[in-house]
Structure 1
Amino acid sequence: MNPRTLVRAEGAVVAAAATVTYALDGRSLLVFLAVILLPDASMAGYLHSRRVGAITYNAVHTYVGPVVLAAVGVLTGTGLAVGIALIWTAHIGADRLFGYGLKYADREFGDTHVQRL
């Protein structure tokens, strides 16, 4: 299997696992639907420049943020933080499934790390 297919399959598994975990924990579908596209607000950085857009988009579209948020939520007993982390993780996984990847500051928006695989 080529790397692009693997990244997309990985995204599907991550999105499904995060979504199922969220649902099995009895969390609100309305909150899920309200928050699932929120990470894409990071594209607003492109209104300033490609460089700023790539930085803001990439900062929100890596698994580092949701993993840290989930850890904080678990350690502090804050269920909302864990729920938001699961939605955020599902978003990133779905992006990878559909071929959206991290952006390059010196390239067009659609030229991502997934496209280069």
Structure 2
Amino acid sequence: MTVHQIVRLENGMAFALCFYIYIQLGFPIWLFFVLLLVPDMTMIGYALNEKIGAIVYNVGHSFTLPLLFTLFSFYFSNDYLLLISIIWIAHIFMDRLFGFGLKYQESFKNTHIQRLKWRQIVNGVLQEWPKACSSDENYVDFFELFMYGL
């Protein structure tokens, strides 16, 4: 398994665990699915520009706020905060399962999960470099690996 696949598998398992905990706590299942995509409202920042969009999106898609909600739910004994935090955390895991991650300011499509995959591809190509340069015949293979292997 590649690192990218492991990261996605871990996030899928964490999403399933969030859903399991949510069900075990007796919260309504229909509400889980109704609220699951609410954190994507943070994409509204992209209506202004890429920099603000990335900042607002990342605030809504990092674990900081939902974990604070979880702590507050325990401190104040508030089930609604716990319900919101579990769904929010599940949403983040779901996004990362599908390969979406925290956004860089250059582009909406440029995420930390995709950079992980890109590094893995580049590292694979660089590991093939010594083999590819051993003879003129293999140079073509390296070129094809580089051009078509990405």
Structure 1 stretches (4+) deviating beyond 3 angstroms? none
Structure 2 counterpart SS, 1:111: strand
Match of 2:46 in 1: 46
Match of 2:90 in 1: 90
Structure with the larger RCO, 1 or 2 (CA within 8 Å, 6+ apart): 1
Structure 2 counterpart SS, 1:99: coil
Deviations 1:7-39 (A, max 9, x none): 212211211111110011110122212211000
- State the distance in 2 between where 1:15 and 1:65 align: 17
Structure 2 counterpart SS, 1:109: strand
- State the distance in 2 between where 1:80 and 1:87 align: 11
Deviations 1:42-77 (A, max 9, x none): 000000000000001000101111111011001110
The structure carrying a bigger helix percent of its residues is 2
Identity %: 36
Any stretches of 5+ residues in structure 1 without a counterpart? none
Any stretches of 5+ residues in structure 2 without a counterpart? 117-150
- State the distance in 1 between where 2:13 and 2:29 align: 20
One-letter amino acid of the counterpart of residue 59, structure 1: V
In the TM superposition, residue 2 of structure 1 has moved relative to its aligned partner by: 3.0
Match of 1:68 in 2: 68
Larger radius of gyration: 2
The structure carrying a bigger strand percent of its residues is 2
- State the distance in 2 between where 1:6 and 1:102 align: 18
The Cα RMSD (Å) is 1.0
In the TM superposition, residue 110 of structure 1 has moved relative to its aligned partner by: 1.2
Match of 1:110 in 2: 109
Give the TM-score taking structure 2 as reference length. Answer: 0.74
In the TM superposition, residue 6 of structure 1 has moved relative to its aligned partner by: 2.4
1:14–1:89 contact (8 Å) kept in structure 2:
no
- State the distance in 1 between where 2:74 and 2:52 align: 32
Match of 2:25 in 1: 25
Tell me how many residue pairs correspond in the alignment.
Answer: 116
- State the distance in 1 between where 2:102 and 2:84 align: 21
